[in-house]
Homo-oligomer: A and B are copies of this chain.
């Protein structure tokens, strides 16, 4: 029996295909409480008294990039299994309770973390903690549970990837971009490996990774930090520490020497599109200031309506229907920087590619202006403020930061570090990392174009 509301399942599905975007943080970091329980559980409490609502999130420091070779998809599969029954609660009981009290819940799996959350009235916080703590250790993992849920995941992959040429292409661009690191492998897993996942894999995964010493609890909302601490200590504190986990050291990229392309031609494609990606450092792996500069570079180059790519390709030349840039900086290991675009009207994909390349080359060669950088920072910081306005957005910032090697202090100083980015720093990272000789371009083409 699966009582998880459709909306939750859909949201969980969506989250699989992207790193949760955490390009957002409040201009004034709120004062947060941060502490650890004796069993190793880290706790962050973020007071937000504006409404009688609390967000309760439990983050595990395990994602698809931690999976054993040949077991791709197990992290995401396990996220689904967490909605099954425990020795204390029937399958779906937790979700039913959330719905009953008018709350919302969700879960998502990424390369580096898996998270579960509920948003409810503060009076329900204790119940949420009890349910969440219960499924950290008491999950019932029988073949009767595993088999049907695996079919659900297979169907999910069918509808979201196999039937979507752009997803198929995106997977193979990643598999080409990363030659050694597991970010090469899709979060949802390769179909042929998902099909083989079994009870033993699930139990092994659960025992290894689902433990207080591998988790971060984030509570944001209309709560008293002292009370949250007491409650967490009482409920989560009684769970014994799990096995000592090895450091999360994954194979890293060799020096890359080649320019690569990946092309998918499919009769289901209506409009061609182009993307190009590079391996670049993340907030955790970058030299000081580089990740912040990459964020501002991404903003200047292709972050929304005021960006160079938008202004040049869409407004001025009118050759693209969409185009932009992205940087996934919140990542445990080296991550990627990308650009993308789709032609409009009579324009060709080649024109779009060349125009984007030209914008990058211009920044590499001539740099960016002080004014541009300041405006980009403002836009970037404003988006942080918007996120702060959303309680769960705030909780997500802390959860994703703490599960990808950053600290509460890093989060607190984030806005200041963004403010320190200079035009020189932007040009420097552009020059250093966006080398065309080490790029991977993806081309999605309609059948007739061949």
Contact = CB atoms under 8 A, between A and B. Distances in A.
Interface of A is mostly: mixed
Given A70-B249, A70-B250, A263 B258 contact: yes
A257 B168 contact: yes
A409 interface: no
A258 B179 contact: no
A252 B252 CA distance: 20
Nearest to A162: B255
A192 B252 contact: yes
A265 interface: yes
Contacts of A70: 249-252
A24 B70 CA distance: 34
Interface string A179-204: 11010110000111100000000000
Contacts of A172: 179, 256-258, 260
A169 interface: yes
A69 interface: yes
B179 A251 contact: no
B193 A251 contact: yes
Contacts of A263: 258-260
A261 interface: yes
Contacts of A32: none
B260 A262 contact: yes
Nearest to A70: B251
B261 A261 contact: yes
Nearest to A442: B258
A171 B257 CA distance: 10
A251 B69 contact: yes
Given A179-B175, A260-B176, A255 B191 contact: yes
A141 interface: no
A1 to B, nearest CB: 32
Contacts of A171: 254
With a 10 A CB-CB cut-off, give which of A168, A171, A175, A252 has the most chain B CB atoms.
A175
A286 interface: no
A264 interface: yes
A255 B191 CA distance: 8
Interface string A198-215: 000000000000000000
Nearest to A182: B69
A444 B257 CA distance: 11
A437 interface: yes
A191 B256 CA distance: 11
Contacts of A69: 69, 182, 250-251
A72 B179 CA distance: 13
Contacts of A256: 172
A350 to B, nearest CB: 15
Contact of A176 (B176, B257, B264): B176
Contact of A191 (B185, B190, B254): B254
A171 B191 CA distance: 26
Contacts of A249: 70
7 contacts: A69-B182, A69-B251, A70-B249, A70-B250, A168-B257, A169-B258, A192-B255
Interface of A: 69-70, 72, 168-169, 171-172, 175-176, 179-180, 182, 184-185, 190-193, 249-252, 254-265, 437
Top 10 closest A-B pairs, CB basis? A175-B179, A190-B254, A70-B251, A172-B258, A261-B261, A259-B263, A258-B262, A69-B251, A168-B257, A258-B264
